[in-house]
Amino acid sequence: MKHRTLRLIAWRLLMALPILFGVIVVTFVLIRALPGDPAIVYASGPNMSQEDIDAIRRAMGLDKSVFEQFLIYLNNIAHLNFGNSLVTGQPVLKDFGERLPATLELAVFAFALSLVVALPVGVLSALYRDSWIDQLVRVITSVSAAMPGFFFGLILIFIFYFLMGIAPEPIGRLSGWSIAPPTVTGFMTIDAALIGDWEIFWEALGKMLMPAASMAIFAVAPLMRMMRGGMIDALDSDYIKAARAYGIPRRKILLQYALPNAMLPVLATMGMVLSTMLGANIMIEKLFAWPGIGSYSVNALTGVDYAPVQAFVLIVAVLFVLMTLAIDILSAAIDPRYKLKG
């Protein structure tokens, strides 16, 4: 059984290669269809002549045909070389390595926040189906699905920072006068906890609350709906009715029989939601000046900096494939009837 599972995992990863190749092709073509010339942006200056711009274009390989540029790009990716950023002057992979922990910390915290809200409320809505609680939950999910995260972030900033003054300044991961802990994991809260600096820990956690809540509003609606629907299907199933007939305590029925089966569709939604949060957090990072890969990629896009944008799309696509596979494995572990799909 173990070898079969490993073969299925290897097959899934192999089948993901055409998808990733398609992402590379589409991103490469779309980026080069955008207006602007990186050579002109890089050569901006009062003393730059057309000959200087042409020399920079040759140095960047932009004088070659699009097909030749694509082959060079594929070869670089095969060697984990995503090029250098025109904005920072550093290798793109190094820039992403410095900024990815900030994005992951925010996304994981926002995801955990959405789970804390969505799962219990979804279960409660299923238990009291068609009651005023259920109707209220439906309204909440509708509002959550319709409200963009950045707009919700603006509301939070206006209420809790400008009006009430109880939220920290919505800029960055720490205040300007605070000293960041030594980098171990890149997660500010974890690094602060490792050295016992609880003042920095609580400050970093407080800084994350508003951007994380802005991101979580996106995830609450689908998770809550799937939890409610899965729980209703489980409670209406024959095995739950049989368990009730045998006099099994209601608490045991809910926790040991209904909830694990209701979690299967929720798990599939979790993988899609978390991977989407990693790629769709660009506006939130810009709004809160969060130093993650999202804001970095937006700055690169406005600066006609090809390499970081292409790397961002590819990295998000890889994370999506890996998370989908992890959710499949977890689902198979929870329910033996669930099969890893080749």
Q: How many residues does the chain have?
A: 342
Residues 223, 270: contact at Cβ < 8 Å? yes
Residues 178, 168: contact at Cβ < 8 Å? no
Three-state SS string over 147-201 comes to: CCHHHHHHHHHHHHHHHCCCCCCCCCCCCCCCCCCCCCCCCHHHHHHHCCCHHHH
Domains in the chain and their CATH numbers? 82-334 (1.10.3720.10)
Residues 311, 319: contact at Cβ < 8 Å? no
Per-residue pLDDT of the chain (342 residues; tens, 9 = 90+): 566 667 767 777 787 788 888 888 888 887 777 666 666 666 665 566 667 667 777 766 667 777 888 888 888 888 888 878 877 778 888 888 888 899 889 988 998 998 998 888 888 888 888 788 888 888 888 887 777 778 888 899 999 988 888 888 888 888 878 888 888 888 989 999 999 889 999 999 999 999 999 888 888 888 888 888 888 888 888 877 887 887 788 888 787 778 877 887 787 788 778 777 776 678 888 888 888 888 888 888 777 777 888 888 888 888 777 777 777 777 666 665 555 554
CA–CA distance, 137 with 145 (Å, rounded to integer): 12
**Exposure of 6 in the CB half-sphere (CA atoms within 13 A):** 3
Residues 223, 119: contact at Cβ < 8 Å? yes
- At residue 139, the 3 state secondary structure works out as helix
- Name residues whose C-beta falls within 8 Å of residue 178's C-beta, 6 or more positions apart in sequence: 200, 203
Tokens coding 57: 């274009």
Tokens coding 183: 């980098």
Only one residue has tokens 């209220």, namely 136
